[in-house]
Structure 1
């Protein structure tokens, strides 16, 4: 699919909101709908310039002379490739610091590491374990911190999801005047685990005017705090958020069906039990048909994917936008770095 939304929906109307962003990106729950839209619009604009105007480097080189620390305590494919290539495009230097490269969590506290590392770099992109780790890092860092993943949030992934949805559904609404004209009223169905991806979706999508149907097994409920915030955002945007344990109920009327791994990193010992608990949750054409998803529904998954989560028939079908979604990790991370780490700040 083309990286440019189309002539109508490529009207970037929320750029002004980029001037009011929070210092750190821990969760999109801390951002307004307009700020989220501004980041997604910026990502789309950069993507078009790179892919259709052959712009190999940002003409202003906003990270020239800057070093961005990439602290990854968990392995990664998309996040690492996207972040390093984004920093190169912006003219900066990426310093990858894996769990075996530094003293973090071994001989030095997170607080001390945050203070030391931030004194030598211009921004931190951190992929950690517990939510408390990213918040503590942000608290003691002297430079902006962007959450590359923690056990509660994954903001740059959901920005990529929103860009993908805008690209796909923008083509179906050529008269749309803004990103909200495209996203507004769409129904997202989540069928899977109660994890950081769905928590972050609930933090961002209702406030952007999207309905959500969330389906998790009874043993894996969405935390009450997450539900309360999603409810408040949904009420302000006049949309619905519903919770289910039956996947067929969740996918009814869905425009977008989303799932993720049932066994996240660190849960390998639970795999056998989790596979039993998620029986019947595999996304399939039959599930969408029986549940009466909208006829033009699409499938999304943040990857890596395992066959028990979604059939090959769906994953490799024309309905699947998973590889477009994966590529968009780069463009939304790039837009985030440009907004939070650049020399204009």
Structure 2
């Protein structure tokens, strides 16, 4: 019997470390099946609701392609398409959608919203991102690390920048679960919360993961097998961007900081989108306001051989495919 059957994936700690490892390995397997054009329609005949409060490129594309490859029909429901939390409560919406769809993806703001969906839908619910957690991203990220290095325990991953956001918290928990050493280079005001740190330390005690938090970027990257960063301003966050940029500029991934790892084999990761050049309207506005040509990562590093950001982006699809299949598929039919 599949122990994940019928379960929702709302945050990493919903599953055990063994189950997270299983999803990573399953994602690698499904990626190989796709490359070999071998059918794997584990969700054949199902209908999947895709709820989006926040805009998306990778999450929407990955869930759509994954559902189609698995034999299911995805239905996109944007914030202006349904009454979610507006004219109808989230609980009522969940009951309606759960009576029509076989699974529900949610990408939005409040973690409470996706939790309420899962409590009331009666079908698996998958968190495509909230302000607190980004679990589907984690399967893709650690899949990328395992593909590149062949193993996970003992690797050192350093995250640089705003370490109090959803990606940083998810990386901290997942690394601690899987025995990956996790370092943070971040200013004191933007370091992981005590609550998440306490949870991570409990996992690290069992896995042997080392956790290091420093406001010194060079200390944080020393010995790192992978450097990871994210945008300096999370979607919907209201802060003084000039102050945020000044605070985080010492943690920009550039060639100097990459060299400070002391390893020529270090790879660079980013969950995207990245402000590495001036080829976007947002990037141009930022450049004009701050007199910078890049923010969290320079174009030279982003385009270098060390960068695996587009492999990481591709891996969102097999990762999501593994999550949906393991929780709602007919794997042994």
Q: Under a length normalisation based on structure 1, what TM-score does the superposition of the two structures give?
A: 0.87
In the alignment, is the contact (CA less than 8 A) between 2:178 and 2:207 conserved in 1?
yes
In the alignment, is the contact (CA less than 8 A) between 1:21 and 1:31 conserved in 2?
no
1:285–1:343 CA distance, 2 compared to 1 (3 A): same
In the alignment, is the contact (CA less than 8 A) between 1:22 and 1:30 conserved in 2?
no
Structure 1 unaligned spans of 5+ = 1-15, 171-181
In the alignment, is the contact (CA less than 8 A) between 1:24 and 1:138 conserved in 2?
yes
In the alignment, is the contact (CA less than 8 A) between 1:255 and 1:293 conserved in 2?
no
1:29 aligned counterpart, secondary structure: helix
What is the alpha-carbon distance in structure 2 between the residues aligned to residue 323 and residue 84 of structure 1?
Answer: 18
* 1:189 and 2:173 correspond: no
What is the alpha-carbon distance in structure 1 between the residues aligned to residue 331 and residue 298 of structure 2?
Answer: 46
Match of 1:3 in 2: none
* 1:198 and 2:168 correspond: yes
Match of 1:12 in 2: none
What is the alpha-carbon distance in structure 2 between the residues aligned to residue 111 and residue 271 of structure 1?
Answer: 36
Matches within 5 A, 1:1-345: 19-20=3-4, 23-51=7-35, 53-55=36-38, 57-58=39-40, 61-170=41-150, 182-193=151-162, 194-267=164-237, 270-289=240-259, 291-307=260-276, 308-343=295-330
Per the TM alignment, residue 21 of structure 1 is displaced from its structure 2 partner at its CA by 6.2
1:209–1:269 CA distance, 2 compared to 1 (3 A): closer
What is the alpha-carbon distance in structure 1 between the residues aligned to residue 186 and residue 250 of structure 2?
Answer: 11
Per the TM alignment, residue 343 of structure 1 is displaced from its structure 2 partner at its CA by 4.0
What is the alpha-carbon distance in structure 1 between the residues aligned to residue 27 and residue 301 of structure 2?
Answer: 27
Structure 2 unaligned spans of 5+ = 277-294
Q: Under a length normalisation based on structure 2, what TM-score does the superposition of the two structures give?
A: 0.90
Higher mean alpha-carbon deviation, 268-277 vs 239-248, is at 268-277
In the alignment, is the contact (CA less than 8 A) between 1:263 and 1:270 conserved in 2?
no
1:306–1:330 CA distance, 2 compared to 1 (3 A): same
Match of 2:288 in 1: none
Question: What does the per-residue CA deviation read over 1:247-276, in whole Å, with 9 as the maximum and x for residues that have no partner?
Answer: 111001100100001111112553222112
What is the alpha-carbon distance in structure 1 between the residues aligned to residue 195 and residue 125 of structure 2?
Answer: 23
In the alignment, is the contact (CA less than 8 A) between 2:5 and 2:328 conserved in 1?
no
1:138–1:169 CA distance, 2 compared to 1 (3 A): same
Per the TM alignment, residue 304 of structure 1 is displaced from its structure 2 partner at its CA by 0.2
Match of 1:4 in 2: none
What is the alpha-carbon distance in structure 2 between the residues aligned to residue 292 and residue 259 of structure 1?
Answer: 15
1:293–1:260 CA distance, 2 compared to 1 (3 A): farther
Per the TM alignment, residue 19 of structure 1 is displaced from its structure 2 partner at its CA by 3.3
